[in-house]
Amino acid sequence: MRSFFIGLAGGLGLGYLALRAAQAVRDLRDPFPPRPQDPKAYGRLHRRLMLVGIARSLADLGFAAYGPLGTAAAPRDGAAEPRPYRIALFAGGLCASALLDLPIAYVEGHVTERRYGLTKQSARSWAIDQAKALGVSLALGVPLLELLATTIERVPRLWPLVVTAGMFPLLVFANVIVPNLIMPLFNRFEPLEGPLAERLRALAARFGAGDATILRVDMSRQTEKANAYVTGLFGSKRIVVADTLLDHFTEPEIEFVVAHELGHYVSSDVWRYVGVGTASAGAIFVGASVIAGRSNVPPASATGLGRLMFAASVLGVVVGPVLAAYSRSRESAADRFAIAATKNAQSGIDAFVRLRDRNLAEEEPPRWMEVLFSTHPSLRSRIAALERAPSG
């Protein structure tokens, strides 16, 4: 029975890859035509692709860990591979995964967004971003995988606790280097100047973030969607506003969106997410170690880690709805903060309506989607909360 499911996963994965590769080649030769900008159609397609993506990811991980290649690569003497060989396997696996996923990502990401008018990025520019992402993945992923393998070797029984303890500083480190070092690899960040910048600085100063660097980012390079965010750990406060937001929204609407993001900063949501992420990762590590530990493959080997990642991914899907619910609660809190900070609920309503139209967002996705996967409350519920709020 196990062989049947492994073979089925491999066959479906290869068939899906072949289909998307053929579509990618066809689009590169003769681009697919645009589609009507229908939020409901876009939402349905997005949900289908998301569910297929989850199933495909689990199938690919399971086939890689338990299929012929994973079984053949597993050490037979009860010990993990020599470190240089293991590192080479990690790097090779990441490269192979990225290359095999390339046509799928191209069709389901780039082509879909282009057909719905949500990106003007060229295929060449998109491919360059993918190459950069692979470079970052190799630079960070390979050392982290080797560190995990070494930890399992050194403390085979206690490694879930040791790795969980290490997750907290790792997530803090990620929140520092990602906005400051990694994101500038993909976009250009420039100081925002003028009356709007002063308006946003005055808003931030009321909540202890007046010294934040206020930046404009060329998000339009990848997408027509609008966004803004606030980051800040260890003196690295940044208020970042996308050019798509600056170019298509009014100043009061932009102020409300930034106030929402500032609410996350004032409420220390970064630290909250680091704590929740550490706790959930710990639970997943413990569960994955039990599941993967039933195998006779050395847990610190490349194959052993592959089986551990498969188990962790399955558990991640199970834990996902709890994390999504927590995220929705923090988004609602940030909305309430923005109302109190701006005293202008109407600008929030206008901003959400404009975001809905610009981002092709459904006002009310299916309930199961919101409960299981959505990190934000539905737009309809957020607008309704703003309509009930006093303004002025």
> How many distinct structural domains can be found in the chain?
1
DSSP 290-340: HHHTTSSS-TTSHHHHHHHHHHHHHHHHHHHHHHHHHHHHHHHHHHHHHHH
Model pLDDT, residue 1: 63
**Which segment of 42-51, 113-122, 168-177, 333-342 scores lowest on mean pLDDT?**
168-177
- Name the residue range of residue 217's domain: 1-392
% the chain with pLDDT above 70 = 95
Residue 117 has pLDDT above 90, yes or no: yes
pTM: 0.89
- What confidence tens digit (pLDDT) does each residue in 272-312 have? 999 999 999 999 999 999 887 777 777 778 888 888 999 99
CA torsion 308→313→319→320, rounded to 10°? Answer: 160
Neighbours of 361 (CB within 10 A): 18
- What confidence tens digit (pLDDT) does each residue in 127-148 have? 999 999 999 999 999 999 999 9
Model pLDDT, residue 65: 78
Q: Which two tokens stand for residue 19?
A: 């289909």
Contact 317, 50 (CB under 8 A): no
Tell me what the pLDDT averaged over the chain comes to: 90
Contact 265, 247 (CB under 8 A): no
**Which segment of 19-23, 58-62, 110-114 scores lowest on mean pLDDT?**
58-62
Residue 386 has pLDDT above 80, yes or no: yes
- What confidence tens digit (pLDDT) does each residue in 13-39 have? 888 999 999 999 999 999 999 999 999
DSSP 86-150: HHHHHHHHHHHHHHHHHHHHIIIIIIHHHHTTS----HHHHHHHHHHHHHHHHHHHHHHHHHHHH
Rg (CA), the chain: 23
Sequence-ordered alpha helix ranges (H) in the chain:
2-29, 39-66, 68-73, 83-105, 112-115, 123-154, 159-177, 195-205, 243-248, 251-266, 269-292, 302-342, 345-359, 367-372, 379-388
| pLDDT, average across residues 184-203 | 94
Q: Which two tokens stand for residue 247?
A: 């170019």
